[in-house]
Each structure stands twice: as C-alpha cells, then as structure tokens.
Amino acid sequence: MLETVGIGLLTALAFAIIMFKINLEFFAKYHWQTDVIVSAGLMFLFYGTFSGMVIALIAGIFLSIFLYISRIIIQPI
C-alpha cells in the first residue's frame, strides 16, 4: 500500500513540475478545469488494475492540494 501512495505522490509531483515549467499562473487561474482534466487523464492512463486506479486517485488528490495551495499563493486575477 505504501508503494501505491509513493507512486501517486511521484506522479503528482511530475505533473506539478510540468505545470511550473509551462506557466503555473495559468494553471492556478483555471485550477478546477486543470484538476478535472488531469484526474480524468490519470484514470485513463492507469486503467486496468485496482492499484492503478488507486494511484490515479491519490495523484489526483495530491494535485488538487497543490493547485489549491498555488492558487492561494499566486492569487491570479
């Protein structure tokens, strides 16, 4: 179970780094759209096994927390 949480955290961290490299302010401005699209994409990528769906769920939760915190810090207009 700990491996699943670790893989989910690393997946969310990879998406956070990509968002930072592209433009974090844009993703913070449209945080809920980004959250829905990335979470749906993760479910599509990890579809097939129960542990894959759990990894997608955990990564989506961590990514939601990251986007919420970044929106509070950046405060886009």
pLDDT in tens, 5-64: 999 999 999 988 998 899 888 888 888 898 899 889 989 988 889 998 999 999 999 999
Tell me: the pLDDT tens digits for 35-49? 899 889 989 988 889
For the question of whether the overall pTM of this predicted structure is more than 0.85, the answer is no
Residue 8: C-alpha distances to residues 23, 54, 72, 77 (Å): 22, 8, 23, 31
